[in-house]
Amino acid sequence: MATAKTINIIDIGTSKITTIIAHAVNSQINIIAITTTPAEGFRRGSIVDPEIASQSLTRSIESAERMAGLEIKSAHIGYCDSTFESLNTQADISISNPHNEITPADVARIQKACRQSPLPINKEVVSLLPKKYSIDDQLDIINPVGMTGNKLHLEAHLITASNNSLRNLEKLFSDIGTDIDSVTHSGLASAKSVLEHSENELGTCLVDIGGSLSTIVVIYENAPIFSQVIPIGGNHLTIDLAVGLRLSVPDAEKVKIELGHAYQKNRSLPPEINLGTNQISTITTINGIVRPRLEEIAKIIKQHLDSEHLQNKTPSGVVVTGGGALSPSLIDTFSQTLNTPVRLGTPRKLGGLSDETTSPIHATSVGLLLQSLPGSLPPATSSKKHSTNNLVGRLRRLIEPLLP
């Protein structure tokens, strides 16, 4: 009988922190706890107030621990801030084994060579994502281990981020006594949970719209070939509504959510928005406030795809996910602006409390769970474990609530 393995994931978004505890048996994942709390102490993904950020993270973790009756000692982290960038690289090595058979050590050696590609100052590699290997004249090899040849070639996609950003993240987890099992680019995790096999194979652009940042990831022939962070998200639309309708930001967020839900439910919108004593035309709101902001996001996406000459790499169109994907009229606006098929990306259904994770809001969280399955953690995710002084951090978490 297979033994259940506990998987802990923490998705640090630009507006929320989601913590999930799940049990995995073989390839089946059952969620036993999920909590979402505001990402206070962060701005555009970056830590701007370590003390408040620590409190936000602790609240999310402890809520999940209480729900599951388990302690989170380590977790796989989904993270992305404005310093995340990417580049494509390649490397070659000679095979010196007696029978020219490629071993896991050779694969590790060539991946290390790719990681040593020149980077901008103050940047470091977060993760390496192999695209394809070649052995002599044999091309497009997925896994070269066990094959024979004289020269091994690798084309890879590197995710990089600011040294300071990653050190601050590590210190944040060290202070609360939780180890980091791996750090994954949020957009790549979302792609794992919402893209179909044919989309990964033929080529698709995944857009994950968060609160104050959005990520663009292009997947082609089952590997990422482009990723980019843009400093605009769903919160910008909320502010537009607040200014245009003269509402408070919380009320504007409610209007956005209600219109989004109505649109997703039946692809139609109520004729008017009820704002207490005022009635405002929905059409005027959509055409005058919502569409211009969504068109701006779509045009930025198009600019990036055009500048990288990726139009012929995305025949499956665009898949939009994240909380911002629920904005009213987004699918229609994106389809018209990008002139390509666009669909809403929803995470695949898991077991246990999975009804809580079927919204695009949880695309990254579900992706982290899927790629954290035992034996399924790909080279795409940094497998470096950042060990912390757990005892000190946990004692701090226990003592701080008792202090005056």
DSSP string, 13-46: -SSEEEEEEEEEETTEEEEEEEEEEE-TTEETTE
pLDDT at 374: 60
pLDDT at 120: 87
Secondary-structure class of domain 5-82+164-194+348-402 per CATH:
alpha beta
Structural contact between residues 238 and 252, judged by C-beta atoms closer than 8 angstroms: yes
Q: Of the candidates 159, 14, 126, 12, which has an alpha carbon nearest to the alpha carbon of residue 79?
A: 12
pLDDT at 382: 43
Distance CA 290, CA 273 (A): 14
pLDDT at 257: 84
pLDDT at 354: 75
Distance CA 260, CA 254 (A): 10
Q: Position of tokens 């504007």?
A: 252
- 292 CA to centre of own chain: 26
Distance CA 260, CA 11 (A): 23
pLDDT at 260: 82
Topology of the domain comprising 197-344: Nucleotidyltransferase; domain 5 (3.30.420)
Q: Exposed, middle or buried by CB within 10 Å (0-12, 13-18, 19+), for 398?
A: exposed
pLDDT at 303: 96
Residue ranges matching CATH 3.30.1490.110 in the chain = 85-160
Decide the pairing of beta strands 214-220 and 204-209.
antiparallel
DSSP code, position 149: -
Query: Which of helix, strand or coil describes residue 204?
Result: strand
pLDDT at 267: 59
- 278 CA to centre of own chain: 39
Distance CA 302, CA 339 (A): 10
Structural contact between residues 178 and 393, judged by C-beta atoms closer than 8 angstroms: yes
Distance CA 144, CA 131 (A): 12
- 144 CA to centre of own chain: 28
Structural contact between residues 291 and 226, judged by C-beta atoms closer than 8 angstroms: no
Q: Of the candidates 52, 32, 31, 51, which has an alpha carbon nearest to the alpha carbon of residue 40?
A: 52
Residue ranges matching CATH 3.30.420.40 in the chain = 5-82+164-194+348-402, 197-344
Distances (CA, A) of 112 to 46, 89, 183, 293, 382: 28, 12, 18, 42, 12
In CATH, what number does 85-160 get?
A: 3.30.1490.110
Distance CA 310, CA 217 (A): 11
Positions in the chain short of pLDDT 50 = 377-385, 388-389, 392, 395, 398-399, 401-404
